[in-house]
């Protein structure tokens, strides 16, 4: 008896809530899939435009004589692969509304910078004549460029998916930061001829890690689902 | 109401069919309310979180991906809202332990009632003492009826991890039930 009484009252409460919700949603704007796609296209176009503009800002491709095409193709391919791995980590399963599992995101955040570093080391081994230690350049210029070029697209992408990460928003933001950092890393690699380990670690790998940390903060602050006033 | 029909209703709603919201509500609200009541122990807060969950789904309907599952998404939003409230210290239990939804379902009969209450109490205590990830996985699958895939998506983990957590939780609960049975036999 107790259970039937309580279930009847909870059904009544649910009916009341349904009526008020149905009335409420009519007044709360929400884009349909079509509207969302349009916004998505605008944001992606803006990010792509920023990316191409960044390419010009960093001076485009630096064609040094000791950087043969084969070296550039092999090393750039490595950076592109790392970027694709990171982008895959951001989107994961296209059929999931809750994003990829945590373990995939952790693998991307940790693995992508290591993959980039490994690729540079491999490039130095395969093309020893292209190795430039750049002992005078510690990497601050590349670090500054990467952070400056990466922060705007990262903020834009984080704001676009505002309140969209229902599970692990911090890690999702870190994965996004890693993807942006890896993409900016391609431009930096094309324009910077230094392959010395200290320079690469400080100027090319550290910004990816810093953008991941920045992305994690942005994720927690902006992409996390919380109580809203409608 | 199957998960597939709810997914289709959400897809229709994402495409702009406003009528589908009522169907979604009917399919999701009772399950979500049970989940929220169990976690907030406060009917008013549970209803408030339910409203927030559904309004969030309404706001984000355009982002609903083709072929995605709506049940784990809804549970993940509800869970996030509960965690957010708990973090801000806004969870105030107002339900007495006797009105816990799990116990509502027990049959009431003379001697067995006491034994069942005793068993349920022990089981609930064991469940509460489990590590959070095991407890949540157990509740989502065994109490809220989510499939392993749905629970994995709601928790942001893999199906294998959910299976493992579920197995560990079941072992602990079985041990409690076993010890109670042994105690009675002695």
Q: Compute the residue count for chain A.
A: 230
A121 touches chain B (CB under 8 A): no
Name the band, by pLDDT with cuts 50, 70 and 90, for residue B111: low
What's the mean per-residue pLDDT of chain A?
85
Residue A7's pLDDT is what?
A: 57
User: Rounded to 5 degrees, what angle do the CA atoms A68, A69, A70 make?
Assistant: 95
Tokens of A192: 């910077």
In A, residues 207-226, which contact B (CB 8 Å cutoff)?
224-226
How far apart CA B131 and CA B58 sit, in angstroms, is 33
Residues from chain A contacting residue B25 (CB–CB below 8 Å):
18, 21-22
- Whole-number Cα distances in Å, A173 to A169, A204, B77, B179: 6, 20, 17, 46
Residue B103's pLDDT is what?
A: 45
Q: How far is A82 from chain B (nearest CA, A)?
A: 23
| Residue B61 to residue A102, Cβ atoms within 8 A | no
Radius of gyration of chain A (CA): 23
Helix (H), strand (E) counts: chain A: 8, 0
ipTM metric: 0.80
Name the band, by pLDDT with cuts 50, 70 and 90, for residue B109: low
| Dihedral of the alpha carbons of B92, B98, B99, B100, in degrees to the nearest 10 | 70
> For the segment A72-109, what is each residue's pLDDT rounded down to a tens digit?
888 889 999 999 989 888 876 667 888 888 999 999 99
Mean pLDDT of A60-71: 72
> For the segment A18-53, what is each residue's pLDDT rounded down to a tens digit?
888 888 888 888 889 899 999 989 999 999 998 888
Name the band, by pLDDT with cuts 50, 70 and 90, for residue B7: very high
Residue A71's pLDDT is what?
A: 83
- The region, left, alpha or beta by phi > 0 then psi within -120 to 50, assigned to residue B89 is left
Residues from chain A contacting residue B156 (CB–CB below 8 Å):
98-102, 167-168
What's the mean per-residue pLDDT of chain B?
83
> For the segment B135-156, what is each residue's pLDDT rounded down to a tens digit?
989 989 988 889 999 999 889 8
Whether A149 has a pLDDT exceeding 60, the answer reads yes
With pLDDT > 90 as the criterion, what percentage of chain A qualifies? 35
With pLDDT > 90 as the criterion, what percentage of chain B qualifies? 38
A4 touches chain B (CB under 8 A): no
Q: Comparing A1-5, A156-160, A206-210, which segment has the lowest mean pLDDT? A: A1-5
Instruction: Between A132 and B182, name the one with better pLDDT.
Output: A132
Interface test with B, best of A10, A18, A98 (most B CBs within 10 A): A98
Residue A61's pLDDT is what?
A: 72
Name the pTM for this structure.
Answer: 0.82
Residue A14's pLDDT is what?
A: 80
Interface test with A, best of B28, B45, B61, B62 (most A CBs within 10 A): B62
Helices (H), B15-69: 20-40, 43-59
Interface test with A, best of B19, B153, B164 (most A CBs within 10 A): B153
- Whether A42 contacts A168, CB under 8 Å: no
> For the segment A152-161, what is each residue's pLDDT rounded down to a tens digit?
999 998 888 7
Instruction: Between A225 and A197, name the one with better pLDDT.
Output: A197
Q: Which residue of A has its CA nearest to B62?
A: A33
Q: Comparing A16-25, B18-27, B87-96, which segment has the lowest mean pLDDT? A: B87-96
């Amino acid at each position: 008896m107790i259970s039937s009484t309580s279930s009847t009252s909870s059904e009544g409460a649910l009916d009341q809530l349904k009526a008020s919700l149905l009335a409420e949603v009519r007044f709360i704007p929400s884009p349909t899939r079509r509207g969302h796609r349009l916004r998505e296209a605008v944001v992606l176009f803006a990010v792509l435009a920023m990316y191409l503009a960044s390419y010009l800002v960093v001076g485009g491709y630096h064609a040094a004589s000791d950087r043969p095409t084969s070296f550039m193709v092999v090393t750039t391919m490595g950076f592109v692969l790392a970027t694709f791995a990171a982008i895959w980590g951001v989107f994961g399963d296209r059929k999931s509304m809750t994003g990829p599992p945590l373990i995939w995101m952790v693998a991307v955040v940790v693995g992508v910078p290591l993959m980039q570093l490994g690729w540079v080391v491999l490039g130095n081994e395969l093309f020893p004549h292209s190795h430039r230690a750049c002992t005078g350049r510690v990497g601050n210029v590349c670090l500054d460029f990467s952070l400056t070029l990466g922060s705007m697209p990262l903020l834009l992408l984080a704001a676009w998916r505002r309140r969209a990460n229902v599970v692990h928003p911090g890690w999702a933001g870190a994965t996004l930061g890693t993807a942006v950092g890896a993409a900016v890393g391609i431009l930096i690699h094309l324009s910077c001829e230094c392959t010395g380990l200290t320079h690469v670690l400080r100027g090319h790998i550290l910004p990816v890690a810093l953008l991941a940390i920045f992305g994690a903060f942005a994720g927690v602050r902006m992409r996390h689902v919380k109580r809203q006033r409608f | 109401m199957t998960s597939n029909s709810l997914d289709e209703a959400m897809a229709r709603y994402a495409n702009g069919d406003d009528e589908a919201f009522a169907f979604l509500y009917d399919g999701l609200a009772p399950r979500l309310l049970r989940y929220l009541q169990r976690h907030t122990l406060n009917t008013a807060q549970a209803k408030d979180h339910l409203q927030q969950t559904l309004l969030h789904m309404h706001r984000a309907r355009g982002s609903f991906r083709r072929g995605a599952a709506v049940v784990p998404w809804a549970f993940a939003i509800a869970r996030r809202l509960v965690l957010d409230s708990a973090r801000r210290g806004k969870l105030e239990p107002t339900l007495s332990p006797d009105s816990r939804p799990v116990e509502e379902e027990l049959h009431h009969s003379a001697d067995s009632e006491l034994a069942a209450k005793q068993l349920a109490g022990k089981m609930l205590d064991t469940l509460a003492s489990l590590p959070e990830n095991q407890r949540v996985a157990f509740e989502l699958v065994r109490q809220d009826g989510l499939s392993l895939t749905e629970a994995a998506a709601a928790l942001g983990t893999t199906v294998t991890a959910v299976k493992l957590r579920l197995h560990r939780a079941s072992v602990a609960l079985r041990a409690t039930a076993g010890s109670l049975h042994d105690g009675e036999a002695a």
